[in-house]
Amino acid sequence: MKKSIGVREIRRLYRDGEKITAATAYDAAMARLADEAGIDMLLVGDSLGMTMLGYKTTLPVTLRQSLHHTAAVVRGSKRAMVVGDMPFLTYQVSPERALLNAGRYLQEAGAAAVKLEGGERIAETIARLVNSGIPVLGHIGILPQSVLAEGGYRIHGRSDEEAASLLLDARAVEQAGAFAVVLEGLPRKLSARITETLTIPTIGIGAGPECSGQIQVMHDLLGLFKDFVPKHCKRYADLGQAARDAFQKYRNEVREGVFPGPEQTVE
């Protein structure tokens, strides 16, 4: 039985004032690297739709695809807490449907928890899952599954009214029993206030340094995408360029008859 991080260890990190480190992962190979580097939490985000499957939004991602990738991340990691991100329409229809779908992340994929987008309006569903023994990571602020209804992505909580409503959302998620909550795209002051108010950890993405932890999309932090780099993202590597260079070198060597050489050839 592998000894991996669970809700208790996340709570301990929070209690001890240690920042929680999280990144998205979608396959066993990258999960292994992040896990070996000591990342605490691996979220199999529905950003899977854009990072791995070539969609423009998260909306087309299905439960089947998400479970498939979550299971791969579980297989690839030893220590990190793996969280499955429930796709659009897998938890909004009813708390009962949400429970059955969420259970599949634990039973079939081996995840340690699930993530759901939404605040007050989803609190009843969070409570249903938590009361059935499923750890839930909340998610408020920018909600990519509502991108069409919102008309795009934008920082939330700039007005007093929106800030107050986000605070209520954060409290609702906490009261429903979520073990932590992702704050996405909030002004620094507001996420600091939410972090101060709550008694569960906040995991920020584009929400400033006061959050209890940070999460980044793996492709952003590794520099796997050339075109769009969000403001909140810091590139820790340029794997995209490294991969392009390697492919080009391989292609040239094949064309020139340099590869395979004697070392790669059995006589």
Chain positions contacting ligand KIV, by CB under 6 A: 24, 43, 45-47, 85, 182, 184, 205, 215, 217
Which residue in the shown chain puts its C-beta closest to ligand KIV?
A: 45
Closest CA to 89 of 146, 139, 42, 170: 146
Q: 6 vs 230, which CB is nearer to ligand KIV?
A: 230
Q: 96 vs 150, which CB is nearer to ligand KIV?
A: 150
184 is an active site residue? yes
* Cα 162 from Cα 48, distance rounded (Å): 29
Q: 136 vs 253, which CB is nearer to ligand KIV?
A: 136
Least Cβ distance, residue 197 to ligand KIV (angstroms): 21
Q: 46 vs 174, which CB is nearer to ligand KIV?
A: 46
Least Cβ distance, residue 57 to ligand KIV (angstroms): 11
Pair 31, 80: CB distance under 8 Å: yes
Residue among 18, 184, 263, 267 flagged as catalytic: 184
Q: 51 vs 259, which CB is nearer to ligand KIV?
A: 51
Q: 24 vs 191, which CB is nearer to ligand KIV?
A: 24
Least Cβ distance, residue 151 to ligand KIV (angstroms): 19
Least Cβ distance, residue 71 to ligand KIV (angstroms): 17
Closest CA to 16 of 50, 36, 37, 40: 40
Least Cβ distance, residue 110 to ligand KIV (angstroms): 19
SS3 letters across the chain: CCCCCCHHHHHHHHHCCCCEEEEECCCHHHHHHHHHCCCCEEEECCCHHHHCCCCCCCCCCCHHHHHHHHHHHHHHCCCCEEEEECCCCCCCCCHHHHHHHHHHHHHCCCCCEEECCECHHHHHHHHHHHHCCCCEEEEEECCHHHHHHHCCCCCCCCCHHHHHHHHHHHHHHHHHCCCEEEEECCCHHHHHHHHHHCCCCEEEECCCCCCCEEEECHHHHCCCCCCCCCCCCCCCCCHHHHHHHHHHHHHHHHHCCCCCCHHHCCC
List, by residue number, the catalytic residues.
184
